[in-house]
Amino acid sequence: MKDYIKYHEWQIIEEGFDPENNRISESIFSIGNGKMGQRANFEEKYSGDSLRGSYVAGIYYPDKTRVGWWKNGYPEYFAKIINSTNWIGINISINGQELDLAETKVHSFKRILDMQHGLLTRSFVAELKNGNQVEVKSERFVSIDNTAIGALRYSIKAINFSGEISISPYLDGDVFNEDSNYDEKFWIEVSKEVDGNEGYLTLETLKTEFQVCSAMSFQVQKNGEKEIAKPVNSVREKYVEAKQLLNVKSGDEVVIEKFSATISSFDYPKNKLVETAKESINRATTNGFDSLFENHKNLWLKKWETSDIQIEGDVAAQQGIRYNIFQLNQTYSGEDERLNIGPKGFTGEKYGGVTYWDTEAYCLPFYLSTAPAEISKKLLLYRHNHLSKAIENAQNLGFNNGAALYPMVTINGEECHNEWEITFEEIHRNGAIAYAIYNYINYTSDKEYLAPYGFEVLLGISRFWSQRVNWSEDKQKYVMLGVTGPNEYENNVNNNFHTNYIAVWTLKYTLEVIDYLKKEFPYLFEELISKWKFNELKETGRWKNIIEKMYFPFDSKNNVFLQQDGFTDKELIPVSELSDEDQPINKKWSWDRILRSPYIKQADTLQSLFWFENDFSEQELKKHFDFYEPLTVHESSLSPCVHSILAAKIGYEEKSYDMYLRTARLDLDDYNNDTEDGLHITSMGGTWMSIVMGFGGMRVNESRLLFNPFLPGKWKSYKFKIDFGGAHLEVKKEQNNFIIVNHSDITVPVSVWNVEVQIQGNSKLEFKK
């Protein structure tokens, strides 16, 4: 755990430069706009330890799988959103010496991420080996108004010298990924040109043949006057540069404004990339930095109007939740149903930047409540668009009749995860995708999504579950063998409770959907029967039999459902008895020792109890929480939020708050010592859930909002905003009051502490407890 980020309600602040923290800060201060992202690398050269990262949505490379023992069904590649052209670069030299913070004395250093306006700033005073001192200030953003555009302003002030400053803006496509399986570079050059203060570089990915054209334009001022001298241009493979020389005196200030446009074949024809890039960069240059930023800033302020959470009395918690919301908003915009949310977003290479079940389980609720319904719908359509690939994936594993197994990891619908215990066994992901359909419809009341999109996905998943179980003569029950649950510290187990439960739930829900379609869309349903060769009587008969006779391991001694068969054969030693030297176990223990231990990486059985809490009494929820949470090491970023929400549900308010802080500041405080690899974007949705669903106790039932709120002891109040049923609500919890303000004309049915009321349009209701 680190503790160098300064507390502030709206800003992330780093004071002082410590090279040991540089990679962590490069992740923390990342910026993006849903179409591209940029790690907080320095504009000037930095020869110290750094992970360069500039990422373009949808542009990937299928890195050939590298495993020691190939198994039938393995994917041939792992898809990676790859590092692309470095557009922020500016080489600076002072009287012939390069400005490089790894080689200078840094007298002061400050970096600020302004979350309210989406602006990254940095300032420092550096002394070069020749004794020359410079004061540098930089500002940059990637526009959410025009998502192809990035802009930066970089100023250099001569403190104690006269002489020559060389400024060389460039585009560098000769980049690499540290996680390349075979140490390959993934780009080849298509074309390049540079003329004066403009440059263009078009590259193509190997294998996938995506093309990206990066454009740059810049202008230089000295002491407020524009420099008119023509730059000296140079090129090399996958690189263009323009160098400008300026004579300065002590006290002079040089400012460069650099604009970049990133245009890809994901969105435009290849033969139009350069033309489109030129048009984009010319518009950006004409508008100028201040105008571009003003439009960008105003859109950020608009985003905060619908998604902000305010906490009074706890700056650390306030900073944490706003940081999580900021990163979610700049990772996914919902404008393109071909895109999804990678676990690291655009902030690092780990996990390849591709899609996991995290989206459905942890991110969807945030977008449901803070963005138009179409945004969340596109996350569902992403999966529907990949249905044929999910069916193909199941076929590769021996399933038939339209059974669908969605990938554990994907970018285009194909499975690209290559660890057998995950690829073949962590099949609960199918259930998360089915649950997301229910969650979307439950929140939005958009039942028409079921006809046909939702039904087609549910049918494929239900067919998979029907074939994946087998009948046990010994138990006289259906069983599910050889699986891995959400707790990846257990592999190849039998009858994982969560997997069995979500399978049965999916079958039940699909039966309900069939009844709905037969009643509301009878002709369409007949077409779907024909399209999917659905033998309703035979297939649903088997589903009903599975629902009735599914086996769930149960321990009568502790009166809890077991995570899997044989779980109580382990030594159930609580995590509290582990020494500090043993933790984290994923770094201190052998895999053999982990597998034999009782320790749980993240909510597993409790994941089912969270999603299906109404199926269990509060006493049952407490029993299971008290049994499993003490065995949970929370070594997944997805773990604290589920425990926080469940703890709130059963009245463990202090535990709920502790778990919230851990998820809210996971990256800011580098809890898991892995922030340098990139941020934990998808778990940030869980942070939002911890406040809204945990502390606020918000649920939706039959088109009614339910609240059962409490106020953490350290807080004076909290307030969040949600969109529901076309209404925009502001919800606030104070010490003895709970207030809901309806900022729309729409009447909203709510229940607060089990008291049902109607909140009329443009009105305010106050509840006391």
**For 171, phi and psi rounded to 5 degrees?**
-120, 125
**For 24, phi and psi rounded to 5 degrees?**
-60, -45
In terms of DSSP H, where are the helices of 469-601? 497-520, 522-531, 536-549, 585-588, 591-596
In terms of DSSP H, where are the helices of 676-750? 681-689
Bridge partner residues of 188 (DSSP)? 204
Our separate counts of H helices and E strands in the chain read: 20, 33
Whether residue 325 contacts residue 646, with contact meaning beta carbons closer than 8 Å, is answered with no
Is 488 one of the annotated active-site residues of the chain? yes
Q: Which DSSP symbol is given to 364?
A: H
Burial grade of 68 (CB within 10 A; 0-12, 13-18, 19 or more): exposed
Q: Say how far apart CA 555 and CA 564 lie, in whole Å.
A: 10
Among 58, 79, 722, 143, which residue's Cα sits nearest to residue 376? 722
Q: Is 95 helix (H, G, I), strand (E, B) or coil?
A: coil
CA distances from 684 to 309, 444, 584, 633 (A): 13, 22, 21, 19
Task: Pick the catalytic residue from 488, 629, 635, 676.
Answer: 488
Whether residue 704 contacts residue 756, with contact meaning beta carbons closer than 8 Å, is answered with yes
Q: Say how far apart CA 723 and CA 149 lie, in whole Å.
A: 30
Bridge partner residues of 555 (DSSP)? 560
**For 19, phi and psi rounded to 5 degrees?**
-55, -25
Among 374, 339, 386, which residue's Cα sits nearest to residue 359? 339
Length reported for the chain:
769
Which token pair is 411?
């970018």
Torsion of CA 36, 41, 42, 48, to 10 degrees: -160
CA atoms within 13 A of residue 669's CA, in its CB half-sphere: 15
Burial grade of 613 (CB within 10 A; 0-12, 13-18, 19 or more): middle
CA distances from 634 to 235, 341, 466, 586, 646 (A): 50, 22, 32, 11, 14
Geometric angle at alpha carbon 526, from 521 and 527, rounded to 5°: 100
Strands (E), 558-672: 560-561
Ramachandran region, residue 452 (left: φ > 0; alpha: ψ -120 to 50; beta: rest)? alpha
CB neighbour list of residue 706: distance below 8 Å, 6 or more residues apart: 697, 698, 699, 700, 750, 751
Among 444, 326, 437, 361, which residue's Cα sits nearest to residue 689? 361
Q: Are strands 90-94 and 105-114 parallel, antiparallel or unpaired?
A: unpaired
**What percent of the chain is helix, strand and coil (3-state, nearest 5)?**
35, 25, 35
Sign of CA dihedral 49, 182, 186, 242: positive
Q: Say how far apart CA 719 and CA 721 lie, in whole Å.
A: 7
**For 166, phi and psi rounded to 5 degrees?**
-105, 125
A 10 A CB-CB count for 531 gives 11
Q: Which residues are catalytic?
A: 488
